[in-house]
Amino acid sequence: EVQLMQSEAEVKKPGESLKISCKGSGYDFNKYRIAWVRQMPGKGLEWMGIIHAGDYDTTYSPSFQGQVTMSADKSSSVAYLNWRSLKASDTAKYYCARLIIMAGYAYMDVWGKGTTVTVSS
Amino acid sequence: EVILTQSPGTLSLSPGERATLSCRASQSVSSNYLAWYQQKPGQAPRLLIYGASSRATGIPDRFSGSGSGTDFTLTISRLEPEDFAVYFCHQYGSSPLFNFGPGTKVDIK
């Protein structure tokens, strides 16, 4: 079964750093892209960026460029989302999703359960 | 920049009724890159439709998608209790590379 397993919820203080993870299983992790999506409390979905798990090529949403860093480790089939200095406004649920771009289609077919990040002093 | 608008914001219907959800793009997008997702409270989104009209694996045939260019529709032919949720459309490829509509909530009348 294709799965994306995300790390547990985090509670942090403003200014702290954080790295959350998304581990793929049941498929060849290296051959696909991972998308990161933010959902603030009670709000819609926002695209943050995409990373190709095989060559680590990244594309960031302009809204998140410079705010977060995406990375991956293909040897362990894990993608990461990293903040150097959290703000209260980073409080949200963060989803990773496998992005399929093939045969002329693009869609996210498998989603992780999400990691809730709470930033509060 | 492509902006996706979904209407209505909320759709109040009874089980067994037909639901028609609209996703409108501010400029033409490729139908191959238009998808629909369902999200229930406390859960991750789930892919329903890709390529504007192709059902994802395991999605019941009461869900159908249609449209092209700037106007896309998700139809649920007969609402089941488990279909009351929020539905998002999503496009890939047009600037910005990737974006979502604001969502339509289907709730029980």
For residue B96, whether the previous peptide bond is cis, meaning omega lies within 30 degrees of 0, is yes
Which parts of chain A fold into alpha helices (H)? Answer: none
Please answer yes or no on whether B44 and A112 come within 8 Å at the CB atom: yes
Chain-chain contact of B92 with A107 (C-beta, under 8 angstroms): yes
Interface test with B, best of A58, A105, A111 (most B CBs within 10 A): A105
Distance, CA of A112 to CA of A36 (rounded, Å): 10
In this complex, do A105 and B51 lie within 8 Å of one another by their Cβ atoms? yes
Q: How confident is the model at residue A104 (pLDDT cuts 50, 70, 90)?
A: confident
Which of B47, B93, B99 has the CB atom closest to A108's CB atom? B47
Residue A45 Cα, gap to closest chain B Cα (Å) = 6
For A58-69, what is the mean pLDDT? 96
Nearest C-alpha neighbor of A100 from the set B23, B62, B35, B59: B35
For residue A70, how far is the Cα from the chain centroid? 7
Residues of A in contact with B9 (CB under 8 A): none
Are the beta carbons of B92 and A111 separated by less than 8 Å? no
pLDDT at A85: 97
pLDDT tens, residue by residue, B51-77: 999 999 999 999 999 999 999 999 999
Residues in chain A with CB shorter than 8 Å from the CB of B96 are 47, 61-62
Residue pair B84/B106 in contact by the 8 Å Cβ criterion = yes
Q: What is the mean pLDDT of residues A44-58?
A: 96
3-state helix, strand, coil in chain A (%, to 5): 5, 55, 40
Contact list in A for residue B43 (CB cut-off 8 A) is 113
Supply the pLDDT for residue B64.
98
The pLDDT of residue B76 is: 98
- Cα dihedral B72→A109→A59→B3 (10° resolution): 20
**A103 or B28, which is more confident:** B28
CB contact set of A103 (below 8 Å; sequence gap of 6+): none
| Residue contact A50–B101, C-beta within 8 A | no
Q: Which amino acid is present at A10?
A: E
On average, the pLDDT of chain A sits at: 96
Write out chain A residues lying below 8 Å of B35, CB-based.
106-108
